[in-house]
Chain A
Amino acid sequence: MTMLRRVLILVAAVGAALGLVLAAAAPAMAADQAYLRLAHLSPDTPKVDVYVASVADPGNSIVVPGVGYGAVSPYRPVAPGSYVVSMRAAGASKDSPPVISTTVDAKAGQAYTVAGTGLSASLGLTVLNDQLDLPPAGKAAVRCINGAVSASAVDIGQADKQPWATGVKFATTTPYTDVNAGTWTLRVTAPGKPPVDLPVTVDQNSTYSVVLLDKKGAFSAQIIRDSAGSQVAPVGGVETGFGGTAPDPLALLAFGTAAVALGAVAAPTAVRLVAGVRRARTR
């Protein structure tokens, strides 16, 4: 076996080991984080206490007391997993049977709105999967959550343009629609009602919910930001290295060549040395 071959084998083995370790260190993209938010969108349901309990860790249970119609909580980061969300009348014992409950399977990297929806007689807990996709450049994503029974079916869009959603019924939610980022007037129209205009400013790469609520017999609109992205999304990856600490194949080749050269020089010396040692030993 030549010295060169030996060096090459060594280089190959080290390379293979590097490759294996690098492969092992590249897990799939998955954040260990989900977001949950609560909303009360049932016009005739009095205030409720909302319970959120982790199925995996029942001790990790909390109560949000006295949640009234129209309330939308901020998002809370939670560990991915199943959560039981229950509503009880405000002040009711935590041991009393809930008015309603549902289970949310919160997945990593996702966001959810759990909303009490519909009229009290048919109260439901709706789990909305909130979009976290990056809207196209220059766009924001907006959806409509109709929590106003006085607006039983609405059209929604930018004023003086074709509405992007029509006939949105009470207790339903539209998918997100990409809209122009910037400042403009949002218009919501319902049969037999004066249109409701809402001046809005929406940022690109952000997502929003327009929430419709009953307000003194009429309906109102509010816009809530669901999530925000980078104002500008750069193209591709980032060039953040010059290779000074990377294995250098040229250097390795130089190493190999030098090894051979040195081996050629050193070998006879070594042989003589060893022979000398042996001779010394045998003497």
Chain B
Amino acid sequence: MSRPPDRREVGVATAQAGAVGPPSPVSRASGRGGLADSARRAGARPREDGSAVAPPRSAQPRRVVRVALAVAVLAALVGSAVVAVRTPPPGPAPQAAPAVVPPVLFDPVAPAPQPAAAVATATTLDVPRLQISRSSLTELGVDDAGVLIPPSSIAVAGWFTGSAVPGEVGPTVIAGHVDSYEGPGIFYRLDTLRPGDLVTVGRSDGVAIRYRVTDVVSVPKDAFPTRQVYGPTPGPELRLITCGGEFDHSARRYLRNVVVSAVYADAS
């Protein structure tokens, strides 16, 4: 394996006679594994939508009865209109934490990105923990002000075409809606991803690039970490973005973004 870090590289061009030796072979040592195991464990968690308050049945003091009755009648009347309260993201995952795939040291297999065909694009997304399977990706660009235009549908995520082709060195950026005016979008539970979770992005040339989640953060939109999201990376990385935090009802927008970062795991 003596492939340069990435095909898009300017090339190991030599000014004078001939090329300098290729990058050194790198050792094949390694302890991989655990990927499949982790994938298995990365099943989705049950959704915890807010739901109507169940009125207590037993009612000795009349105050309680009054409240209970009022609430019960209310719940029945107002129904689903009121109770779409988004469950806040749990702190640590309540169930057993998924096995974290340890980064592999100098594994020749792991970081050797598949050279992307020049025309390759990101076409599908798999996020086992969110039960997203072979979901098609749209393509995203920026508007005149340079702001990323989100997908037009809340049901699919989009690949920012100005970001790296999956598997190439650099950040591949995918954004999806957390919700619509009425209910959850494709990235509704994005904030429940945990380090070690696996995410696969399929390319138009049939190659699938798998990434391993390294962190999940909530960041204020007015202090968006552009460098961490779009800045240079030495290897192929992935960013998944959606909205989160407080919803500003007057501006009709969420005040924060949830950003998931992931690094190259393997390709198939």
Cβ contact within 8 Å between B78 and A258: yes
Q: Which residue of A lies closest to B255 (CB)?
A: A237
- Which residues of chain B are near A179, meaning CB under 8 Å? none
A211 CA / B23 CA spacing, docked (Å): 13
A234-B181 contact in complex given A62-B106, A74-B5, A220-B14, C-beta closer than 8 Å: no
CB of A252 closer than 8 Å to a CB of B: yes
Question: CB-defined interface of B165-196 with A at 8 Å, one 1/0 digit per residue?
Answer: 00011110101111111111101100100010
Are B84 and A245 interface neighbours, CB within 8 A?
yes
Additional A-B contacts beyond A132-B231, A133-B227, A244-B182 (10; CB < 8 A)? A27-B215, A66-B24, A135-B232, A141-B232, A198-B13, A207-B232, A238-B175, A241-B177, A242-B179, A244-B181
Q: Using known A-B contacts A240-B243, A259-B71, A263-B70, determine if residue A228 contacts B88 with beta carbons closer than 8 Å.
A: no
Are A54 and B249 CB-contacts (below 8 A) given A65-B25, A238-B148, A254-B78? no
Chain A residues 70 to 95 lying within 8 A of chain B, measured CB to CB, are 70-79
CA distance in complex: A252, B214 (Å): 37
A residues at B contact (CB < 8 Å): 3, 6, 14, 17-18, 21-22, 24-33, 35-38, 40, 52, 54, 60-79, 109, 111, 130-135, 141, 188, 196-203, 205-208, 211, 213, 215-216, 218-252, 254-255, 258-259, 262-263, 266-267, 269-271, 273-274
Closest to A20 in B: B88
Contact, CB under 8 Å: A25 / B234: no
Residue of A nearest to B261 (CB): A31
Chain A residues whose C-beta falls within 8 Å of the C-beta of B66 in the assembled complex: 3, 263, 266-267, 270-271
CA distance A135 to B129 in the complex (A): 35
Residues of B in contact with A (beta carbons under 8 Å apart) = 3-6, 8-27, 29-31, 59, 62, 65-67, 69-71, 73-74, 77-78, 81-82, 84-86, 88-91, 102-107, 110-112, 142, 145-148, 150-151, 154, 160, 162-164, 168-171, 173, 175-185, 187-188, 191, 195, 214-219, 221-222, 224-235, 241-247, 249, 252-254, 256-257, 261, 263-264
Q: Pick from A35, A227, A235, A240: contact of B185, CB below 8 A.
A: A240
Output the least CB separation between B177 and chain A (Å).
5
Given contacts A24-B91, A263-B66, is CB(A78)–CB(B105) below 8 Å? yes
Indicate if the CB atoms of B249 and A73 lie closer than 8 Å.
Answer: no
A/B interface sample: 13 pairs, CB < 8 A: A27-B217, A33-B214, A67-B24, A76-B107, A205-B231, A206-B232, A222-B15, A227-B169, A229-B231, A233-B231, A237-B241, A243-B181, A248-B82
Between A and B, how many residue pairs show CB distances below 8 Å?
383
Whether A274 touches B62, Cβ cut-off 8 Å, given contacts A236-B221, A241-B243, is yes
Residue of B69, B145, B215 near A30 (CB, 8 A) is B215
Smallest CB–CB gap between B98 and chain A, Å?
14
Q: Would you give the shortest CB distance from B100 to chain A, in whole angstroms?
A: 8
Interface of chain B: mostly helix, strand, loop or mixed = loop
* Distance (whole angstroms) from the CB of B169 to the closest CB of chain A: 5
Which of A22, A62, A215 is the one whose CB lies under 8 Å from B88? A22
- B184 engages A245 (CB within 8 Å): yes
| Interface pair A21/B88, CB less than 8 Å apart | yes
A250 to chain B, nearest CB (A): 7
Residues of chain B within 8 A (CB-CB) of A223 are 10-13
How far apart are A72's CB and chain B's nearest CB, in angstroms?
A: 6
